[in-house]
Amino acid sequence: MTYYFSKKLTNISFNQTLEKVATVLKTKGFGILTEIDVQDIMKKKLDRDIKPYKILGACNPSFAYQALQTENKIGTMLPCNVIVQELEDGSVEVASVDPKASMQAVENDALIKIAGEVQQQLQAAINEL
């Protein structure tokens, strides 16, 4: 089982992709809680240049609440990370963690069921891009 799913987009800029990702995630009940600019961090901390790369912390409050009621330490694995990165050919890739794959380590059947529902919504969002 892979730990992520992704989609490569062409003919759209990195910044337009970020906006589109946020919009599509919102239609699936997710909000962006955090945004980490990896390109900026690598430049500031290591003086290294990389292509634009952002990590978005996406959260669906309803699913997060259910997960916390099922497993009180699950916050160590939240929110769901979605990356947006510019590739060498100028296209943009969007990838999301597969929550079902990551939650299998917890060994809680109720949590796996919730993770499956989150997986469906995240995958639908990625496919919609």
**Domain of residue 46, residue span:** 4-128
CA distances from 80 to 10, 97, 101, 127 (A): 24, 6, 12, 16
The reported pTM is 0.94
**Cα–Cα distance measured from residue 85 to residue 11, given in angstroms and rounded to the nearest whole number:** 14
Average of pLDDT values for 31-50?
Answer: 98
Question: For position 47, what pLDDT does the model report?
Answer: 98
Domains: count for the chain: 1
Q: What is the separation of C-alpha 73 from the centre of its chain, rounded to a whole number of angstroms?
A: 20
Which band of pLDDT confidence, cut at 50, 70 and 90, is reported for residue 105?
confident
CA distances from 94 to 20, 21, 66, 71, 76 (A): 11, 8, 26, 29, 23
Q: Residue 29 maps to which CATH number?
A: 3.30.310.70
